[in-house]
Amino acid sequence: TTSVNDYLRQHIRTVSDWPAPGVQFRDITPLLQDPKVFRILIDAFVHRYMDPDMRPDVVAGLDARGFILGAVIAYELNVGFVPIRKKGKLPFTTVEETYELEYGSATVELHTDAVKPGDKVLLIDDLIATGGTMMAGKKLLEKLGATVMEGAAIVDLPELGGSKLLQDTGKLPLFTLVDFE
Ligand code: PRP
Ligand code: HPA
């Protein structure tokens, strides 16, 4: 539905030169702030994953904005939520995955009992840029024997190539609502 996508696009704020000069930061906080918009946003995901053929066993959310979306989507689907966190935040035993950023690297972690072998997982974040974060999340879930059925985000930045890489090389189906150049 084009109108929902356009409506959501109109509620994403672009901040120039943040966090660094030259970056056009797509800020999703206005989508969360207005209850009417927030509901339309969440319902767009819930509608897709309520379908019996698409319903996951677990929703995994990526630190930090993937927690906000993922937790609400999981609640509405009546399935559990698990957080994939930046290194050093999770208290129990974890699996970890390190990936490359534009400058340096990052490590994410997942509790070893977060998913069971064979679980069908929906992986959620707010935005796909280079795809590194979502790919690392997929690898963590697969280390525990789970299958990531789909990755979902509000925003895709297709020019950065992450969504193509995830789908072609990573074999991860994706669902996103708004593209920005
Ligand atoms: C942003 C965004 C995604 C990731 C996308 O998070 O929320 O998680 O980057 O980039 P990628 O596709 O190139 O991996 P950020 O690193 O800003 O962390 P934060 O959620 O803690 O702000
Ligand atoms: N918004 C949020 N997270 C991001 C962005 C952005 O524009 N670019 C890379 N990560």
Q: Please give the ipTM for the structure prediction.
A: 0.96
Catalytic residue among 9, 85, 97, 102: 102
For residue 55, indicate whether it is catalytic: no
Residue nearest to atom 5 of ligand 2 (CA): 25
For residue 97, indicate whether it is catalytic: no
How remote is the CA of residue 95 from the centroid of ligand 1, in Å?
Answer: 20
Residue 59 is predicted with a pLDDT of 99
Question: Residues near ligand 2 with C-beta < 6 Å?
Answer: 25-26, 127, 129
pLDDT tens digits, 53-105 = 999 999 999 999 999 999 999 999 999 999 999 999 999 999 999 999 978 99
- 151 in a structural domain: yes
Domain that includes residue 132, residue range:
52-179
pLDDT tens digits, 15-55 = 999 999 999 999 999 999 999 999 999 999 999 999 999 99
- 140 in a structural domain: yes
- 159 in a structural domain: yes
Split at pLDDT 50, 70, 90, the class of 1 is low
Q: Into how many domains does the chain fold?
A: 1
Instruction: Check: CB of residue 63 under 8 Å from CB of residue 87.
Output: no
